[in-house]
Amino acid sequence: MRLEGKVAVITGGASGIGRATVDKFVREGAKVLIADISLEAAERAVAEVDAAGHAGMTAACRVDVSDFAEVEQMVATAVSTFGKLDVIFNNAGIAGGTPLLDHDPAKDYVPMIRVDQDGVYYGILAAARQFRDQGTPGVIINTSSIYGEQAAELAFSYSAAKAAVISFTRSAAYELAEHGIRVVAITPGRVGTAIINQFSDELKTVFASEQLRNTMTQPSEIADVVAFLASDEANVINGTVVHVDDGYSVFKQRLDLPVF
């Protein structure tokens, strides 16, 4: 088990990619603080992990990642519960979009920046200070997006926040390397989470066609990569963006080729 003995915090851990990553980390031997805006959902996830035969490996914590004091308390809770911190997966986020000219900044810009951008910054800062104070190495993994590297439909604020996550990752890796702290970002493509599954089958078919396997990525597939990045096997992966987009970023669309 590659994460044996490690303690992790996973934000947005009660659903989607976060929830799948909780299961993967526990199977790999880690103890996990499941942090989520919904304490009820986090506690339900703990109960599910316990029922699967991993009692005592997880704990629940409510956190609003847009509030630095709550993020600091989240890290403190992980340490008081499990004795230390080794990994944080800054994964919590929100999505949505409105045409730019129709923006209400208070609705269409500020919340996205507060959660998807500031929330990652707060997680980086709180975890890095804990690693420093422990005097131990640590790993910080941040969820960006394919939208953080390109323009996309209805994604002005979302793309800006996810681009900031990539910049945070590179700068944090540079500054924190002397403390033995690695920082990595992942850029998921079209993942079959509740955010996407709410759409019509027709739209989901279009989304799937944007990836090379012509199918949606499953949250568990992202979790597999995150677990590797959190492990000592990934020690040379630092300050980089790991594309987990099934080729979304390498092509525009499939064409019927002419016969030569």
213-237: pLDDT as tens digits: 999 999 999 999 999 999 999 999 9
The pLDDT value given to residue 244: 98
Q: What percent of the chain has pLDDT over 90?
A: 88
**Is pLDDT above 90 for 52?**
yes
Tell me the C-alpha distance between 230 and 243, whole Å. 15
**Is pLDDT above 90 for 40?**
yes
CATH of 7-241, one of 3.40.50.720, 3.10.180.10, 1.10.3720.10, 3.50.50.60: 3.40.50.720
**Is pLDDT above 90 for 252?**
no
Domains of the chain by residue range = 7-241
In this predicted model, what pLDDT tens digit does every residue of 83-123 receive, in sequence order? Answer: 999 999 999 999 988 999 999 999 999 999 999 999 999 99
Choose, from 121, 122, 147, 158, the residue flagged as catalytic: 158
125, 140 in Cβ contact below 8 A?
A: no
* Residue 121 designated active-site: no
In this predicted model, what pLDDT tens digit does every residue of 146-168 receive, in sequence order? Answer: 999 999 889 999 999 999 999 99
- 154: CB partners within 8 A, 6+ apart: 97, 98, 99
The pLDDT value given to residue 198: 81
Tell me the C-alpha distance between 253 and 129, whole Å. 44
